[in-house]
Amino acid sequence: MKELHSDILIIGGGLTGLMTAYALSPLKKNIIIIDKFDFGITKDANADLRTTAIAEGSKIFFEKINIWPQFSKYAEPIKYIKVVDRTENRKINFYNKNTSQYLGFIIKNIDLKNVIVHSLKTKKNIQLINNVNLKSLAHSDDFIHAFCNKLTIKSKLIIAADGKHSTVRHLLKTPIYHKNYNHSALVVNFHHTKNHNATAHELFFNSGPLAILPMKKIRTHLFSSSIIWSHDKSSVSQLKKIKPNLLRSILEEKVCKYTGGIKKIVDVQDFDLSAHINTKFYDKRLIYLADAAHSIHPIAGQGWNLGIRDIQNCLKAIQEGIDLGLDTGDPYVCKNYHDLSFADTYILYQITDKFNSIFLKDSFVLNRLRQLGFRIIENNKKIKNYITNFAMGI
């Protein structure tokens, strides 16, 4: 069986794995990325209609590593975020007091992937290998070996970026804390009549939160947005099965005030909601990134941005190791990455979980507490600015 050698092997060719390779490329280390699917750039705009929310803090990092100019042409900015709890009488309006920045951006996943893959193919120290299935892992004194279906790769460090159901985590039996919310998220991309004015909405119902995210305009006479609606699994399953006209009527009842009439539903998807966090983000000559390390409730829209923070911490830990004369998979490097990432991730894991629980319940006491909390935040600029900066990741 063919054997390859690398300084860094990235397992998982999704957005996080690809972005990690790009961020680490200036280190001039030999990097291999493997994935069981194809890395090919697609020109089919409908191939993957999912979107990603990019916080201002992530955008600042992308500027530092010189990839934001390529992303920006596909990005729809978020200037305002309006949060509503049950009724318009309980709302908070967030905005960035720094007029030179936005709260965040929305970009289609396919556009992100195409930009990164195109950039990686210009890097001589990066090799992309598709249609590879990881079978097992083994260690020797100074290396970690990945045994795959058609080759073996000998590396100094493995970065596991292979998603929530990580094969690497399964093979190493890394323990996790896990929570199943018994909810699913209905994701609907659609065209509508009313200008969204670069405003995102978070609407809290007793059935679950509904987010409306502004998307880049596709048709000259219409506007585009994406809905992410959390609901119990049976309701989401039924909503996905019903006829488009009936679904449009149900959605319009919820969002018409903000989007105007829905002219066309472009795409409907659903996924189950759960959260997890590994008990540790590293092993011998291995680190876990993003969904392979953690996943959180989407109530705050911070999932991918948390993964970007992992990438920043990974880059920092490896660079510090190199400066100390250590190789990329040295125990100090792996433990340093864990220490940089774990605590903040655990806090956000707990915050999103508790927020979801608080907003789902409709008891008299919780209703009054939410009402009071919304009033205090809306009228206190210091608190509002703190929450805004936290959401922006700065």
Per-residue pLDDT tens digits for 200-245: 999 999 899 999 999 998 777 899 999 999 999 999 999 999 999 9
DSSP 75: P
Identify the pLDDT of residue 43.
Answer: 54
Axis crossing angle, helix 381-392 with helix 364-379, rounded to the nearest 10: 90
Q: Which residues pair with 282 in a beta bridge?
A: 287
Sheet of strand 51-55, all strands in order from the earlier edge strand to the far edge: 51-55, 104-108, 76-78
Per CATH, the number for 2-48+110-179+279-360 is 3.50.50.60
* Rg of the Cα atoms in the chain: 22
Instruction: Please check the confidence at residue 326 and state whether its pLDDT lies above 60.
Output: yes
φ/ψ of 209, rounded to 5, equals -75, 150
Average pLDDT estimate for 45-54: 73
The confidence band for 387, taking pLDDT boundaries of 50, 70 and 90, is confident
79-116: pLDDT as tens digits: 999 999 989 889 999 998 888 889 999 999 999 999 99
Q: Which residues pair with 177 in a beta bridge?
A: 277
Within the chain, where are the H helices? 15-24, 56-64, 68-72, 109-120, 167-172, 233-241, 244-259, 303-323, 331-360, 364-379, 381-392
Give the separation between CA 199 and CA 221, rounded to whole angstroms: 18
327-369: pLDDT as tens digits: 999 999 999 999 999 999 999 999 999 989 999 988 899 899 9
Identify the pLDDT of residue 392.
Answer: 83
Give the separation between CA 10 and CA 159, rounded to whole angstroms: 5
The share of the chain scoring above pLDDT 70, in percent, equals: 97
Identify the pLDDT of residue 42.
Answer: 57
Instruction: Please check the confidence at residue 77 and state whether its pLDDT lies above 90.
Output: yes
Average pLDDT estimate for 145-167: 96
Instruction: Please check the confidence at residue 319 and state whether its pLDDT lies above 70.
Output: yes
Count the helix, strand and coil residues of the chain and give each as a percent rounded to the nearest 5. Answer: 40, 35, 25
Instruction: Please check the confidence at residue 13 and state whether its pLDDT lies above 60.
Output: yes
